[in-house]
Structure 1
Amino acid sequence: MSDWLFDLGNTRLKLAPLEHDGTGPVSAFAHDGARFDPAWMAALPKDIDVAWIASVGPAALRASLLQALVPRAARVVEVRVEREMAGVRIGYAEPARLGIDRALALVGARARVSGWALVVGVGTALTVDLLDAAGLHHGGAIAPSPSLMREALHARAPQLPVDGGTAAAFGTDTADALAGGCLGAALGLIERSCKAAAALAGQPPVLLLHGGGAMQLLAQLDGAVHAPSLVMEGLARLAREPRGLEHTG
């Protein structure tokens, strides 16, 4: 038996065994908002000591995940956002209003970076959070990710293609212009946030990118560090310091 980590997001379920130095191999399974890819169950051992869950996904899928895990896990722990989390102090006036994925990414960043860090998640949304050298979260920003921008434009104006095109500063057809515009909007927010963070810190922060859309932005951001499993890394760190976590079963 062993401890396992579960990160339920808006489009994917990630899972990995908890190891003494962090996470083991991470597996990801897509979902459609209503049901999981059935292959995810085959990745699990028959028996689990503790299942550690972080969820921002649909309520019905969260319930399905709990239903699947309770019979095979000796204990199920669903992580909630607290003011203090493994060396990170959440900067929101009401910490519970911060998404658990953003909070865990900050915990993961704290383990990686000794100085200031700007943590950028690129999923359904584009999230930006600033963490200082003492572990204080200074807040952040939320915007549509480039893919969500394309989807929103297509929904309002179906003649605008939802994908395709090559991003450039000045596109010479509609698809290229959309690709460049949506990517440029995301990059603009990140670059503006980096500049503001550097003014606060007195030096540029370490820029960490995670999430399914991170690779699209990574090459455009000098010095950015790809941390694809940052949320899972934070969950692993919290699981080794399980103060103030809510026990579901």
Structure 2
Amino acid sequence: MIVLIDAGNTRLKLGWIDPETAVRESHPLAIRHHDLHQIAAWLDHLAPAPRAALGVNVAGKALADALDELFRRRYGYAISWISGQAQAAGVRNAYDTPSQLGPDRWVSMIGLARHAHDGPQLLASFGTATTLDTLGPDPTGHAGGLVFHGGLILPGPALMRSSLASGTANLPEANAAPAAYPTHTQQAIGSGIAAAQAGALLRQWREGLERFGQAPRVYSTGGAWPQVEEEVQRGLARAQSDLNLPRQAAQWLPSPALDGLARLALSDAE
């Protein structure tokens, strides 16, 4: 058994995989950074004891050190932390400097590859930051090859709300459902944030349609998805209708980073 760790900006997710059978956890453990004490109880229920731990970390060195210490004390080994790579598990990284790609984004692309079909895919991750990343066919024509083509990073919904509240004298930190024509300030802020998030996604969706000649299939993930889901799905459906394309709603993925780590664990075991 190998433990899988996705250490994000505000919370951690932990799962596991048996590389011999490819069996995965049914429900990952999701906790805040200050709840690391819960990991020991979760590990107590794993049998047999894990022989390794594989992870990605975007939350800083202090958190990585604390997790490493926990695994050293308990099992005698540190976590193998993944960084951006030029290629892994059948996916090529088109970043100019592959190591500069955030490890969570990289392994999420590897996880997204399990849903691969003949066309491009767009993963929209709505967290502390929003990332919009495209996985698609290899432009060199390599048969069966998948390439991370690049993507956008922008502030997530919570950062947009807090920046308005802290950077202005009179605007509150609002959290209201979007409306076409907001009639009060809370609604205006909530609608503006949802529109910005959905607009960025639709921009990348249209870029994918132009580059690949086929509309990307959209997948969503991240804790802030419920705040923008209505606006994203409405905008996507409208764009598909305007272009006479089949209706295809954004599909939720609970843990693409853990999925990618699981694929890496399996490829390492081969």
Question: In the TM superposition, what whole-angstrom CA distance separates every residue of 1:73-102 from its partner, at most 9, and x where no partner exists?
Answer: 354322122100111111111111100010
Quick one: which of 254, 257, 263 aligns to 1:228? 254
Given residue 31 of structure 2, which amino acid in structure 1 is its aligned partner?
Answer: F
Deviation of 1:72 after TM superposition, in Å, equals 2.3
User: Greater share of helix residues, 1 or 2?
Assistant: 2
Query: Which letter does structure 1 place at the counterpart of 2:29?
Result: S
Q: Distance in 1 between matches of 2:99 and 2:264?
A: 16
CA distance in 2 between counterparts of 1:172 and 1:165 reads: 12
CA 1:177–1:123 in structure 2 vs 1: closer, same or farther (change >3 Å)?
same
Q: Take 2:224 and 2:22, find their aligned partners in 1: how far apart are those partners?
A: 27
3-state DSSP of counterpart to 2:40: helix
Cα distance, 1:22 vs structure 2: 5.6
In the alignment, structure 1 residue 165 sits paired with structure 2 residue 173: no
TM-score between the two structures when normalised by the length of structure 2: 0.83
Alpha-carbon distance in structure 1 between the residues aligned to 2:262 and 2:173:
36
User: Which ranges of structure 2 fall in alignment gaps of 5 or more residues?
Assistant: 138-144, 238-248
* Identity %, equivalent residues: 31
Sort the Cα spacing of 1:74 and 1:144 in 2 relative to 1 into closer, same or farther, 3 A. Answer: same
Larger radius of gyration: 2
**Aligned twin of 2:125:** 121
Moved over 6 A (4+): none
Partner amino acid, structure 1, of 2:111: G
Does the Cα contact within 8 Å between 1:150 and 1:163 map onto a contact in 2?
yes
SS of equivalent residue, structure 2 residue 70: helix
Task: Note if 1:87 corresponds to 2:95.
Answer: no
User: What does residue 62 of structure 2 align with?
Assistant: 60
Unaligned runs of 5+ in 1: 244-249
**TM-score normalised by length of structure 1:** 0.90
**Structure 2 counterpart of 1:140:** 151
Partner of 1:246: none
Alignment of 1:177-216 (within 5 A): 177-216=188-227
Residue 130 and residue 13 in structure 1: after superposition, are their counterparts in 2 closer, same or farther (change >3 A)?
same
- For residues 142-164 of structure 1, the C-alpha deviation after alignment (integer angstroms, 9 at most, x for no partner) is 11112210011111125322233
Partner SS for 1:93: coil
Summarize deviations over 1:144-187 as a string: whole Å, max 9, x none: 11221001111112532223322112211111000000110010
Residues 8-63 of structure 1, C-alpha deviation per residue, up to 9 Å, x if partnerless? 111001101214336312110012xxx43422321113732111111111221111
Distance in 2 (CA, whole Å) between partners of 1:108 and 1:157 is: 40
One-letter code of the match for 1:172? T
Q: Are the equivalent residues in 1 in contact too, given 2:86–2:98 (CA < 8 A)?
A: yes
Alignment check: 8 A CA contact 2:126 2:220 kept: yes
Deviations 1:187-245 (A, max 9, x none): 000011101101111111111111111233333324101012111101111111139xx
RMSD of aligned Cα (Å): 1.8
Q: Using a 3 Å threshold, how does the CA distance of structure 1 residues 68 and 158 change in structure 2: closer, same or farther?
A: farther
